[in-house]
Structure 1
Amino acid sequence: MKTLSDMRPVYVVGIGLHPYQNRSQTSYVTLGLRAVREALADAGITWPDVESAYVGNALIGMAAGAAMLRYLGATGIPFAQVENASASGSTAFRHAAHEVAAGYTDVSLAMGVDTVDQWRSGPAKAGVRGLADHLSAPFTHFAMLTQKYMDETGATPEQIAKVAVKNHRNGAFNPYAQRQQVRTLEEVLAPPLISGVLTRLQCTPVGEGAAAVIVMSEEGLTRHGIPRSRAVQVLASASRSEQPFGRENGDVALTRATTLEAYAQASVEPRDIDVVEVHDAFSIEELLYVEAMGFCKPGEAAAELEAGAFDIGGRHAVSPSGGLIAMGHPLGPTGVGQVAEVVRQLRGEAGVRQQPNARMGLTHMVGIGPVCLVHILRAATA
């Protein structure tokens, strides 16, 4: 199976977002076009320079992407709308990166946009249900995983809540984040309890927003005069779906398998990664996933977090954007927004959220299915 390492180099050269926010009366078109225009301006190109486009969304419906992009001009480019639950944006980015790497185009747009509408879940209509599906909502599922983790590792509710304290602190300095307020441990632990020991501030808000990135080949960089110093290379794109994992939690095992594949594609190890954007819809997820990705030993994530290993300035800056807990999780844009944050970090443009000397970054998204996508990006070398 071919990977990005077998094809021509591909780079992210432009990033843009519409701030994630609570549901409003704002049209998804307004959300999406702001992100695209910002990405085009960041890359220093115009819409007619874009040769293909992929739009990730989960909620806004059929043909929404094409109807939105026509406001930039009907240029006749190849286009596809991508739905892959929470991983929709990550999947759109994967398609754009592979298309450019394969030589089909030199300039591609990957974006995500969503606004809260009617939830329509395919698995609920598939006819094949788990025995306890009707008894466990997502927050209940993760509350049970939280209790299991505490029982097995000795971690306390306070230690797990510190994931949210860190991510709210990071989000407070991110102008695109839905939650922009520093929170104390006492505030994070305060009621209401959502399920088990999980409080409201340990759970992601689902609102609306948009994110966009411009992907280019080396030929595109030359043709459009893109400075190499601002071109961040995509080293790996790994995508996997459900398979039998025995008694281990499926999302955790899937994360481990997908991340190992990405490491192999990029010829890197966990110690090489400076910045990590993780699917942390609930605080326990960050701890489970950083262990699965090899950033610490099993059972030690809570203690490592408490020691500052995952802070900005620590061994690995985990979710410097604020993560899903503070940045927000509007579904379609989330994975593209993660890429935008890593690119910002690797360019050294993240301001007070900047991880010092960041050279390598990783994004991780899990979606209903389950599916998992992991991307690894590297800062420019010249």
Structure 2
Amino acid sequence: MGKHLGQLRPVYVAGIGLHPFGSPSALPYIRLGLAAVRAALGDAGVEWPSVEATYTGTAMLGMAASRPMLRHLGRSGAAVTQVENASASGSSAFRLACLEVASGISDVALALGVDKPAPRPVAQRHTGIAELAAAQVTPAAHFALLADEFMRTYGIGPEQLAAVAVKNYGNAALNPNAQRRKAYSLEEVLAGPPVAGALTRLQCCPIGEGAAAAIVVSEDAIDRLGIEPRRCVRVLSSVQRSEQLYGAKSFDAELTRETSDLALEQAGIGPGEIDLVELHDAFTVEELQYLEAMGFSAEGHAAADLAAGEFDRGGRVAVSTSGGLLGAGHPLGPTGLAQIAEITTQIRGEAGVRQHPGARTGLAHMVGLGAVCAVHVLAAATAA
């Protein structure tokens, strides 16, 4: 087996930037992306010519999105790579930026995610093999079926599912970059129009627009460019896996289990040492499933742990302090990078009213169409 990130030279997130997530607007994607990149450069104290490679994650914009956008910063000649990996596009772009720097090829790399809603043909439709249930088994229907199975298996009701949304909207209400900046009661979540099975509208994430960026650097770059070490956050591990055959088990949860286990092992820490988790909560049931799969709750206990406040800010492990996909929004390309930005902000102690006390370590998790999963573990530089 080859090397992993922790066996290469250390890499750090030195700067982060976002354009607020929101409903589709008339703003061109260039404005969204440039706002995030300029904010990340300013946060790191790095000039654009210092960036040696850019990885741009998008799922809906189409071919060659980087050039019309980045040319406004100056034609530097640096390498540019487009990354499409469904919901995990931004996470994959971040992973590639980390590997670029960890390998020594570059000292400064930019990971950028930007998207606006647009028709997005899925390659599986062009395989020549008809999908018999494609029109019926939508993502909402898929997770509604999983929610029904989860509730029956562990004896919980719709209220326990909806409690995930209540927590995450409470966090999103404190996040100036969130799409749904409003707290909702349990009654409001349950009363929303039904989408599929037990899932109501407020238990399904919104697809909108936005951008997020991260500047990834080496220790050499920190010294050479005068970057403030105190605000740099170490990337301990970066793992990406694709699905295997799991029998009757949920492939979403099992893929998450094996990817997060490997990421934590490579980071040299266990679930009990993680302070923050940002995960793929496109539907409420996913948060409960994934927390159990990643080892933050025993099997069948995530709903009870949620009710006990263990996943609140100030709890045992703060989950989705950004508001998650449910509250902060899910514009696909930028989502995984927004998770990195949130964890970086929390570890720096700069999250203001949504700060989780004592945050030193964080885990970011995204899946892409259930077929791929990306997990990153970050830590304060002094804790690495």
Q: Same fold (TM over 0.5)?
A: yes
Structure 1 Cα separation of the partners of residues 73 and 12 of structure 2: 23
Matched residue, 1:376: 377
Letter in 1 for 2:207: V
Aligned to 2:157: 156
Counterpart Cα distance in 1 of 2:164 and 2:111: 30
Residue 120 of structure 1 deviates from its aligned partner by 1.3
| Partner Cα distance (1:126, 1:46) in 2 | 45
User: Aligned residue for 2:188?
Assistant: 187
Give the match for residue 77 of structure 1.
78
Q: So what's the TM-score if we normalise by structure 2?
A: 0.98
Q: Secondary structure at the match of 2:114?
A: strand
Deviation string 1:178-234 (CA, Å, 9 cap, x unpaired) is 000011111111130011111111100000000000000000000111121101000
Partner of 1:272: 273
- List runs of 5+ in structure 1 lacking aligned partners: none
- Superposition deviation, residue 125 in structure 1: 2.0
Residue by residue over 1:222-264, the C-alpha shift from the partner in whole angstroms, topping out at 9 and shown as x without a partner, is 0111121101000000000121111111111000010011011
Task: Give the aligned residue type for 1:325.
Answer: L
Q: Tell me which amino acid in the other structure corresponds to 2:332.
A: L
Q: How does 1:1-382 map to 2 (within 5 A)?
A: 1-128=2-129, 131-368=132-369, 370-381=371-382
Cα displacement (A) at 1:131: 4.9
Other structure's SS at 1:109 match: strand
Q: What secondary structure does 1:135 align onto?
A: coil
In the alignment, the residues of structure 1 paired with residue 234 and residue 129 of structure 2 have an alpha-carbon distance, to the nearest angstrom, of 41
TM-score for both structures, normalised by structure 1: 0.98
CA distance in 1, matches of 2:92, 2:59: 12
Segments of 4+ moved more than 3 angstroms: 127-134
Deviation string, structure 1 residues 144-197 (Cα, Å, up to 9, x no partner): 111111101011111110000000000000000000001111111113001111
Which residue identity lines up with residue 21 of structure 2 in the other structure? Y
Q: CA deviation at 1:45?
A: 1.2
Letter in 2 for 1:135: Q
Distance in 1 (CA, whole Å) between partners of 2:251 and 2:130 is 16
The 1:130–1:255 alpha-carbon spacing in structure 2 relative to 1, beyond 3 Å, is: farther
Asked if the contact 2:251/2:370 (under 8 Å) is kept, the reply is no
CA RMSD of aligned residues (A): 1.0
CA distance in 2, matches of 1:128, 1:313: 50
CA distance in structure 2 between the partners assigned to 1:260 and 1:380 by the alignment: 22
Alpha-carbon distance between aligned partners in 1 of 2:273 and 2:125, rounded to the nearest angstrom: 40
- State the distance in 2 between where 1:258 and 1:32 align: 29
Distance 2:111 2:262 in 1: 22
d(CA) in 2 for partners of 1:90 and 1:127? 30
Aligned-partner SS, 2:382: coil
Report the 3-state secondary structure (helix = DSSP H, G, I; strand = E; otherwise coil) of the residue aligned with 1:93: helix
Report the Cα offset of residue 119 of structure 1. 2.0
User: C-alpha distance in 2, partners of 1:236/1:356?
Assistant: 23
Most deviating of 341-350 and 124-133: 124-133
> Partners in 2 of 1:67 and 1:24 — Cα distance?
19
- Please list the CA deviations of residues 1-28 of structure 1 after superposition, one character each: whole Å capped at 9, or x if unmatched: 1111110000000000000000011100
Quote the offset at 1:380 in angstroms: 2.1
What SS does the corresponding residue of 1:175 show, helix, strand or coil? Answer: coil
Distance 1:302 1:374 in 2: 23
**In structure 1, how many angstroms separate the alpha carbons of the residues matched to 2:292 and 2:44?**
35
Is residue 46–residue 227 contact of structure 2 (8 Å, CA) maintained in 1?
Answer: no
